[in-house]
Homo-oligomer: A and B are copies of this chain.
């Protein structure tokens, strides 16, 4: 299969869908991004890296970061993690307080905002520096030592963070935070503001396709843990549209409101797409389209 030609085709066919979406506008730093940007990169298990469009341009990874947080905490805590966060789809918009109240401060899964706050809280306790631990990991796996927080985005997130503060205070009131609310929020806002390209992300995610082995051959996760992260990405990784994503794309994926989506092809590689215009669920509209076309063409869905 000529992967380069395939990616070029997908880029050409999918990018125009962006016209039907809308760039995230809850913070000025994201609202300013050009909706016409489109990048697509594939990193394979055998070491290839192919891309098309703006695949080397850094963008705000936002919630895509949560897939990596989950891996880092699961690697350290194992199954004990599930006492503090569930692993069921939420069936509700991604920043909902309702379910959190109903379930007494235990977030439904690690990918809704409340769940991500718990991951960061835990990583803070375990390592003393959640953001630093994550950033070091992403630099190592992507091979790009320049991976870093975009300070403008981070400041913008912090100044629009009342809803996440509400979630964190609510969990604190239920006894489900170990660190001070302000500290957890600070690491959260900076984590969401990490800037990476499709190429960076595709390489950084390879351990999820490779049974938990890192780029240097060391083991981060057991074979079984690695599969389990993929299953959570499939059932919970794309906000309130995980069912639709599984139906159309059929791959474990994690999206972010910056327009990025990381999709895992077990035992094959990792695909990362970026297009800033979002559908009403908060997923990149051209990004989902490209992934849908990719699995239709290659047959490489997990089903």
Which residues of A161-197 are within 8 A (CB) of B?
162-163, 165-167, 169-170, 172-173, 181
Copies in the complex: 4
Partner of A97, one of B170, B228, B246, B247: B170
Q: For the complex, is A301 an interface residue (Cβ under 8 Å from B)?
A: yes
With contact pairs A163-B173, A242-B235, A247-B232 given, residues A99 and B91 touching in the complex (Cβ less than 8 Å): yes
Q: For the complex, is A227 an interface residue (Cβ under 8 Å from B)?
A: yes
Contact (Cβ within 8 A) B243 A109 = yes
Contact (Cβ within 8 A) B97 A97 = yes
Chain B residues closer than 8 Å to A247, beta-carbon distance = 87, 228, 231-232
Give, as a whole number of angstroms, the nearest-CB distance from A1 to chain B. Answer: 18
Chain B residues closer than 8 Å to A227, beta-carbon distance = 250, 301, 303
User: Which secondary structure dominates where chain A touches chain B?
Assistant: helix
Chain B residues closer than 8 Å to A100, beta-carbon distance = 97
Partner of A162, one of B99, B162, B181, B241: B181
Give, as a whole number of angstroms, the nearest-CB distance from A291 to chain B. Answer: 13
Q: For the complex, is A90 an interface residue (Cβ under 8 Å from B)?
A: yes
Q: For the complex, is A157 an interface residue (Cβ under 8 Å from B)?
A: no
A228 to B246, CA, bound (A): 8
With contact pairs A101-B97, A303-B252 given, residues A90 and B91 touching in the complex (Cβ less than 8 Å): yes
A99, A169, A250 — which one has the most chain B CB atoms within 10 A of its CB?
A169
With contact pairs A88-B241, A88-B242 given, residues A231 and B162 touching in the complex (Cβ less than 8 Å): no
Which residues of A197-235 are within 8 A (CB) of B?
223-224, 227-228, 230-232, 234-235
With contact pairs A169-B165, A235-B242 given, residues A101 and B98 touching in the complex (Cβ less than 8 Å): yes
Chain B residues closer than 8 Å to A181, beta-carbon distance = 162, 165
* Other 4 A-B pairs with CB < 8 A, given A98-B101, A166-B170, A252-B303: A88-B91, A97-B97, A231-B247, A232-B247
List, sorted by A's number, 14 A–B pairs whose CB atoms are closer than 8 Å: A88-B240, A88-B242, A88-B243, A89-B91, A91-B99, A91-B108, A163-B173, A224-B296, A227-B250, A232-B243, A234-B303, A235-B242, A236-B243, A252-B303
